[in-house]
Structure 1
Amino acid sequence: MPLSFAEPTDPFVPLHVIAQSDLDAWLADQPEHVGRWVAANGFTAALGQILLVPDDAGGTICALAGYGTESKRARKRFALAAVAESLPEGTYQIASGLDAERAEMECLGWLLTGYTFDRYASKSPAKTGLIAPEGVDAARIEAMANAEALIRDLVNTPASDMGPEHLQQAIETLAEEFGASCKTILGDALLEQNFPMIHTVGRAADQAPRLIEMNWGSAGPKLTLVGKGVCFDTGGLNLKPGASMGLMKKDMGGAANVLGLARMIMALNLPLRLRVLIPAVENAVAGNAFRPGDILNSRKGLTVEINNTDAEGRLVLADALALADEGKPDLVISMATLTGAARVALGPDLAPFYTDDDQTAAALSDAAQRSADPVWRMPFHTPYEAMIEPGIADLDNAPSGGFAGSITAALFLRRFVENSAYMHFDIYAWQPSKSPGRSKGGLGQGPRAILGALPEVLGL
């Protein structure tokens, strides 16, 4: 079910959003009986607090939503989402108290409370609708909400129903919806067309490895998105322990986030030429699995020594990035659930990104704040290049020592992009526990920030 605003013709309840510091001023403009009702019910406008104000006939004059203090709001992503989840069933229209600077973020959070993942068990749908406030770009907010829903659906679906062939089907469905073209290089055809590392990583699985390509748009700057589509990661012969394997259905979270970003770009009809590349594999264990100590050839011609088969994501991305770079786009962006080192550095909520361009980094950081999609710049620290050079081959897929794991992975990927501006995201794509507007499970990290930065970065 699409996440969308309520029709403005629906019967609605006016909703006043009130910060604690503004409560007295708001009450001063209200009839006396409203002030008595507010006091009798102990409404202080604390963050997330709600109060329905009745009329003489037992109906509702309006609803009040506590917006708390600035310091309390800083600790929440979507303050009004908590209100939306607590209000009685009905349609609401914001009557006062929400400034334009916060409106887009808060409306997005409200729409996201309507997300449910009900493929395997029934869930109660959202009961509160919101009429789009005047002055907000309703189509843009709905595009962001439905892109987030797509990301969550893809990540939440287990590998039994989201293997490489299912991911291909999801991409083909998205392409058909927006009139994009889609093609797939499958199985041994990867070897014939020079994608040896994608084939090597995925050859041990029942579902053949593949490279899926989607193209959309005929004019404007060229943007290529590359997403890690490892639909399940056992770790290969460097087998993960059970506790580490439990969330590996989300190892295609990079692909899911790329597809969410692509969906927003197409839904908003941005004036650019979009190319999406998804290497889709399962890193399985079988007699033909690749081994520690193997040396692989890549599409770019660089050789890679395998020191850990559990560092497979950068291998499939490398072949796809080499293809992306051959097209010389204006910008290449890769997204991947790549390293545990990124989580150690920044935790699950911040998405680290890498770029060599300070202006791009500034544009992305500014857009991230506006869109409630936090990111943090990490360095392409060139002096660490020696750490990914093993001597026996051009590159090492898993440098020993344990230091700077996210940085060395990003440096590895940068070796495959020489002709284009490049940005890389090392994301988690998972919400560990439920919070307002964010259900436990799959999560978008970075797409909204990128969307907001694209006009400046690409000159749209």
Structure 2
Amino acid sequence: MTAASPYSFAPDGHGTKELHLVAVENFESWLETQSRRVRTWIGATGFAAKLGDIALVPDPDGGLVSAVIGHGTARDRQRDRFLLGGCRRALPAARYKLHHALAPDALAEECLGWLLAGYSFRAGAPSPRPDIAELVVPDGADTAQLQILAAAEVFTRDLINTPAAALGPEELESAAMALATRFGADMSVTYGDDLLYQNLPLIHAVGRASDRAPRLLDMRWGQTGPKLTLVGKGVCFDTGGLNLKPGASMGLMKKDMGGAATVLGLAQMIMATGWPVQLRVLIPAVENAVSGSAMRPGDVLTSRKGLTIEVNNTDAEGRLVLADALALACEEQPDALICMATLTGAARVALGPDIAPFYTHDDGFAQRLMAASARMRDPLWQMPLYPGYQTMIEPGIADLDNAPSGGMAGSITAALFLERFVTDGTRFAHFDIYGYQPKPAPGRPKGGAAQGARALFAALPDVLGL
């Protein structure tokens, strides 16, 4: 028994089993609605609806007739998400019809977690299609949208999880091109030394040391409606450059293109849903390598916008490539500009791996994002673009410093740096994401993860007036 995809819902049919999701507070009332035989069996198993508990109910011949999953207490459900998905692989591989007492948002969360729990990744080969439990199209759920969200998350996860040897700037371009082709989008690419001729000098400076040519990917979709531009950091591997990272810090640097992977996933959601927008996706795709042509600490670079930057640490390269892309984006005066990047370790120190900080001066946008974050169970937190720290990024020898000394407020100063390349009055938000799940959790295996994309997908239609 296998579905067409572990990330889709199954049709109802012969052999479907019942799947009951029961919270502690509803356990006794649920039990009263069951047959005497089921009540006796549940009592014999000791099932009490504790979080993650599973009771398999047999028919008189010993075959499976239904399963019951404990949904825990309200406190349990507040502390984690996608709890139904956490039980998917523990269930026998059968087709199930969900019985529940969930509100619409909670149902959407649990169904999405179920789909995402089907994810697996194996380097160098297509991910094996697991023989795991399937869920029949749930009553009351927007299954088409849930499958769009799941497919986009899978796309993002696959890109982040692919080792850097198999996913450099060229392969990231190919993935973006395939997405563009699938949805009828246009894409242009500026390569290598042409970046200099097209006035994208910072992207060139960061990527020139690698034998994998740097490039800017520019994808466009939609002819009418508000202009929405997504910019994603596409550093396909980050050695730190001449300020070489220690080995322990370099081990996860295949994920340094997580911003690019996430905006591509968000773009996939938007195009699959058919939003009436003029969508543009800009990805500076580079490898920060070490060679005789690498940029040096102390170099002063001139950006597309004309601002000069003193390079005080070649490992603060992400903000450099994003600076040129943001300046380019603003030349078309977008109605909303989103930047996503695995930018600073400081963000992880402040908020840990689960919560992505974002920065914006638009209070209305921030409020909508926080509301969408809670509704979509996609954790975000607004951080301040504190003007008092502006002097920290002003070195004197140049307009800007890419790596202020002292190590304090690192995520904020990075956001302030990026803001200098955004035209005043532009509705702008920057997300300093981690892009990785450090240990397995319900619906989230260890590895690449999208952050902020679902919250943006829920908030942007209101922001853009769609």
What TM-score do you get using the length of structure 2 for normalisation? 0.97
Alignment match, 1:437: 443
Alignment match, 1:27: 31
Alignment match, 1:11: 15
2:50 is equivalent to residue 46 of structure 1: yes
2:195 is equivalent to residue 190 of structure 1: yes
1:369-408 per-position Cα deviation (integer Å, ceiling 9, x unaligned): 1112100110111121111111111111001111110000
2:67 is equivalent to residue 67 of structure 1: no
Instruction: Return the match for 1:303 from 298, 302, 308.
Output: 308
Residues 6 and 129, structure 2, Cα contact 8 Å, conserved in 1? no
Q: Percent identity?
A: 60
Paired residue secondary structure (2:71): strand
Alignment match, 1:383: 388
1:98 CA displacement: 2.7
Distance, in Å, in 2 between the alignment partners of 1:408 and 1:101 is: 36
1:57 CA displacement: 3.4
Distance, in Å, in 2 between the alignment partners of 1:96 and 1:243 is: 45
Distance, in Å, in 2 between the alignment partners of 1:61 and 1:283 is: 56
Alignment match, 1:447: 453
- Kindly provide the amino acid, as one letter, of the partner of residue 361 in structure 1: A
Instruction: Return the match for 1:335 from 340, 343, 347.
Output: 340
Distance, in Å, in 2 between the alignment partners of 1:222 and 1:8 is: 41
Distance, in Å, in 2 between the alignment partners of 1:143 and 1:249 is: 25
Paired residue secondary structure (1:79): coil
1:447 CA displacement: 0.2
Of the structure 1 ranges 81-90 and 336-345, higher mean CA displacement relative to structure 2 is found in: 81-90
Residues 82 and 110, structure 2, Cα contact 8 Å, conserved in 1? yes
Distance, in Å, in 1 between the alignment partners of 2:389 and 2:85 is: 43
1:194-273 alignment, distance < 5 Å: 194-273=199-278
Aligned residues, how many? 460
1:285-324 alignment, distance < 5 Å: 285-324=290-329
Paired residue secondary structure (2:389): helix
Q: CA RMSD in A?
A: 1.3
2:428 is equivalent to residue 422 of structure 1: yes
Residues 114 and 126, structure 1, Cα contact 8 Å, conserved in 2? no
Distance, in Å, in 2 between the alignment partners of 1:283 and 1:292 is: 14
Distance, in Å, in 2 between the alignment partners of 1:166 and 1:52 is: 45
Paired residue secondary structure (1:134): coil
Instruction: Return the match for 2:88 from 60, 70, 84.
Output: 84
1:136 CA displacement: 1.3
Alignment match, 1:113: 117
Paired residue secondary structure (2:280): strand
Residues 107 and 141, structure 2, Cα contact 8 Å, conserved in 1? yes
1:327-347 per-position Cα deviation (integer Å, ceiling 9, x unaligned): 100010000000011011001
Residues 113 and 126, structure 1, Cα contact 8 Å, conserved in 2? no
Paired residue secondary structure (1:72): helix
Residues 21 and 100, structure 2, Cα contact 8 Å, conserved in 1? yes
- Could you list the runs of 5+ residues in structure 1 that have no partner in the other structure? none
Of the structure 1 ranges 115-124 and 408-417, higher mean CA displacement relative to structure 2 is found in: 115-124
Paired residue secondary structure (1:51): strand
Alignment match, 1:125: 130
Residues 6 and 134, structure 2, Cα contact 8 Å, conserved in 1? no
1:187-241 per-position Cα deviation (integer Å, ceiling 9, x unaligned): 1110011000000100010111100011011111110000000001110011111
- Could you list the runs of 5+ residues in structure 2 that have no partner in the other structure? none
- Kindly provide the amino acid, as one letter, of the partner of residue 427 in structure 1: I
Distance, in Å, in 2 between the alignment partners of 1:50 and 1:219 is: 50
Paired residue secondary structure (1:68): coil
